[in-house]
Structure 1
Amino acid sequence: MKILFCSAPGYGLTLPLIPLIWAARAAGHEVLLATTSEMTDAGARAGLPVCDVFPQRDVWHDLMSSIRPGAGSNDDVPEEYRLAREAGNPFGLFVVTMTEGTIKAGRAFGAELVVYTSDHAAGMLAAAALGVPALEVGNRVSWSMRDMDWREAGRNPFGEDEVSVIMREKLGIGDAKAEVVARIDPRAPSMGGMGAGEEHADERDGVPWWPMRFVPYNGGTVVPEWALHRPERPRVAVTLGTVVPAMSGVSSLRVVIEALGGMDVDVVLAAGTADLTGLGELPSNVDSVGFLPLSAFLPTCAAIVHHGGSGTTAAPLFYGIPQLVLPAFADNPMSAQRVADRGVGLTHDPATVDVATVRAMVGRLLEEEAFRTAATQVRDEMATQPSPSAVLERVVGALG
């Protein structure tokens, strides 16, 4: 079977889909990832065939520039950008720029199934235009479209908004709807998801929701030798993901680094390519490793401090690592609340947190067994959920 996978061009929006694509390839299916911007390289590095569906501009960079604090309006942009801006939907930029190219890629590829993430309407529209079955995959661990009320904010059934409606008319898709085989919820059962064997019918259209185990993929790397061993004192990971540094820099790390610098711990600061000069000289127990996938060193960590990105929240859940979440924006506060409610970690407003508070909270994560116990329970729950391979096999079976 030829399967077209569709994702928006952000790390946290694309990487959760990669293990499912690998499962499809391992099962002997032909696959193609339809995305754009930096995710074309990320997909290729993951060993996948990738199609850039909007090579004209760097859409992700344009989105970050438009929503960065202090950014002004730029009238020197394509018509598609103005369309998304007028609709007041940042993600609508992906819909208006990527839908046509995704349809063309799917048609040239001969797609027989379209797999898209819940936040990427371009994939849904492509499935409708191509007239082939579809699979919708959730890529959030803090919330799911299963819990969202589509009646709010002018949304209509199938998760579409006015940008999608406009693109239907522009591209001649009309009222065609894709036959959605199922929608996938990757959350742990005790964090809102489903256990193995569970299934829920979507109240909107009767499409079933199926569970799937979240498998972390943060990129490949040559794993440093130290990451394979637990240090003599607790190792604490610190990261802001990829979006926060691009949006607001790394100033929010100052308090965290100062706090951890005064503790008897080893700190791994994974800040990617972010400029850290504003932090000054780092404490001696802080090792700045640049870009290092979380999966390379989280298994030997005792705790992690992060911003609340969905993938960054999910990875320590997979490994059973307690976490301190200082949520930035978007769905970060929702992730933080889920972490706190489940007891797998703590959270605090980064705007008011201070050195003493960070030390106290990290100290609790390291010393109070309840956090490690809860994190281990969630890890074990996730291990019982169907693997991406099992879900892919179920989809193919449902299609006959």
Structure 2
Amino acid sequence: MKILFCTAPGYGLTLPLIPLVWAARAGGHEVLLATTSEMTDVCARAGLPVVDVFPRRDVWGDLMSVVRGETDPETELPEEYRLASKSGNPFGMFTATMTEGTIEAGRAFGADFVVYTSDHSAGMLAASALGVPSLEVGNRVSWSARDAEWLAEHNVFGEDELDDLMRAKLGIGDTRPAVVARIDPRAPSMGGLTADEPDARDGVPWWPMRFVPFNGGTAVPDWALRRGDRPRVAVTLGTVVPALSGTTNLTVVVEALGGMDVDVVLAAGTADLTTLGTLPANVRSVGFLPLSAFLPTCDAIVHHGGSGTTAAPLFYGVPQLVLPAFADNPMSAQRVADRGVGLSQDPATAEVDGVRAMVRRLLDEDSFRAAAAEVAAEMATQPSPSSVLERALKSASRTP
């Protein structure tokens, strides 16, 4: 079977889907991943066939520029971006630029089945236009499209005026995708499913699926394979926070951890760290090193609350301190605190002594490690991506 996977062009939006794409390839299916911008190269390096559905511009870079207030989409960007301004959804830029190319790629590929993420309307519209069965996959542990009340309150996703415009522009009409199931990848005690449940909106079944972290491939350094003599604490702000807000939030964290008897792994990607000055002797700056390469030997992690960054320590049973930035980061932080797998602190009010005390609690109090281990055990019993995919394809074969 030929399966088209559709994702928006951000690390946290695309990487959670990669294990499912691998499962399809391992099952003997032909796959094609439709995305754009930096994710085209990132996914190619993950060993996947990828098509850039909007090669004319760097859509992700344009979005960051608009969010930072550096670019006015109404006057400085092409028509596709002006269409996006009609939507209150910041991801409308992806819908406006990527939908047509995704449909064209699916037709050229001869897709028999479409897999798209819940936050990617271009994938949903492509599935509608192609008229083949589809699978909608949640790519967050912070929220799911099952959280109807929260989604409505925050005006997150769901079809809007822009989707209607794209349907009219591309001749899709009112056709809706033939969705065989929707996937919630969260552990049950973190808001996920214990068993199948019907969607109250349309009766499409929701299925649980194990979240398998993928943060990129790398040559794993020797030190990352072994625990050291002191507790090891990971620190990261992901990819979006440094691009929008810089590394200001790291100043307090680095000073706090620099005064503790711990080893710190600072994974800040390509962010400019000059504002931090000379790093403490116990801080190892590793640039972009995938979390899965060193998190298994960490005792705690301090991060911004990105969904993928929150999910990885859950998978490995590592307690976490979340300093939520924006978007759904506060929701991730709240889920972490409510489940007892970590602590949360508003970065605007974070102080050195407070951060140090919270990290000390994560390292010294057994309750956090126990709760994190419980969630990791829950995740391990959920259906694997490969079993979920094969189940979806069997359901698709029965779809009229």
Assess same fold via TM > 0.5: yes
Aligned to 2:25: 25
Q: Distance in 1 between matches of 2:89 and 2:302?
A: 30
Q: How much does 1:162 deviate?
A: 1.1
Q: How much does 1:194 deviate?
A: 1.3
Aligned AA for 2:274?
T
Aligned AA for 1:284?
A
Q: Quick check: 2:59–2:94 contact (8 Å CA) kept in 1? A: yes
Deviations 1:260-317 (A, max 9, x none): 0000000000000111011000000000000100000000000000000000000000
Aligned to 2:164: 165
1:371-386 residue pairs with structure 2 within 5 A? 371-386=368-383
1:210-221 residue pairs with structure 2 within 5 A? 210-221=207-218
Q: Quick check: 2:86–2:162 contact (8 Å CA) kept in 1? A: no
Change (3 A) 1:33 1:78: same
1:1-400 residue pairs with structure 2 within 5 A? 1-68=1-68, 70-74=69-73, 75-149=75-149, 152=152, 159-195=158-194, 198-400=195-397
Aligned AA for 1:142?
S
Judge which range, 91-100 or 80-89, deviates more: 80-89
The normalised TM-score by structure 2 is: 0.97
Q: How much does 1:151 deviate?
A: 8.5
Q: How much does 1:336 deviate?
A: 0.2
Counterpart of 1:159 in 2: which secondary structure? coil
Counterpart of 1:146 in 2: which secondary structure? coil
Q: Quick check: 1:155–1:161 contact (8 Å CA) kept in 2? A: no
Q: Please tell me the root mean square deviation across aligned C-alpha atoms, in Å.
A: 1.4
Q: How much does 1:153 deviate?
A: 6.8
Structure 1 runs not aligned, ≥5 long = none
Q: How much does 1:396 deviate?
A: 1.4
Q: Distance in 2 between matches of 1:334 and 1:85?
A: 26
Aligned length: 396
Q: Distance in 1 between matches of 2:168 and 2:86?
A: 17
Change (3 A) 1:242 1:333: same
Q: Distance in 2 between matches of 1:339 and 1:154?
A: 20
Q: Quick check: 2:86–2:161 contact (8 Å CA) kept in 1? A: no
Q: How much does 1:152 deviate?
A: 3.3
Q: Distance in 1 between matches of 2:312 and 2:151?
A: 32
Q: Distance in 1 between matches of 2:360 and 2:33?
A: 43
Aligned AA for 1:224?
P
Q: Quick check: 2:89–2:155 contact (8 Å CA) kept in 1? A: no
Deviations 1:308-338 (A, max 9, x none): 0000000000000000000000000000000
Q: How much does 1:251 deviate?
A: 1.0
The normalised TM-score by structure 1 is: 0.97
Q: How much does 1:88 deviate?
A: 2.8
Aligned AA for 2:352?
V
Q: Distance in 1 between matches of 2:48 and 2:242?
A: 27
Aligned AA for 1:358?
V
> 4+ residue runs of structure 1 moved beyond 3 angstroms?
149-156
Q: Quick check: 1:236–1:265 contact (8 Å CA) kept in 2? A: yes
Q: Distance in 1 between matches of 2:2 and 2:324?
A: 39
Q: Quick check: 1:268–1:287 contact (8 Å CA) kept in 2? A: yes
Aligned AA for 1:362?
V
Q: Distance in 1 between matches of 2:89 and 2:169?
A: 18
Q: Distance in 1 between matches of 2:12 and 2:163?
A: 22
Q: Distance in 2 between matches of 1:152 and 1:264?
A: 45
Q: Distance in 2 between matches of 1:238 and 1:305?
A: 5
Counterpart of 1:218 in 2: which secondary structure? coil
Q: Quick check: 1:154–1:161 contact (8 Å CA) kept in 2? A: no
Judge which range, 87-96 or 46-55, deviates more: 87-96
Q: Distance in 1 between matches of 2:210 and 2:2?
A: 23
Q: How much does 1:85 deviate?
A: 1.7
Q: How much does 1:159 deviate?
A: 2.1
Q: Distance in 2 between matches of 1:294 and 1:150?
A: 29
Q: Distance in 2 between matches of 1:35 and 1:89?
A: 18
Q: How much does 1:76 deviate?
A: 2.2
Q: Distance in 1 between matches of 2:352 and 2:371?
A: 26
Q: How much does 1:33 deviate?
A: 0.1
Q: Distance in 1 between matches of 2:386 and 2:224?
A: 28
Counterpart of 2:146 in 1: which secondary structure? helix
Deviations 1:185-210 (A, max 9, x none): 00000011013xx1010011000000
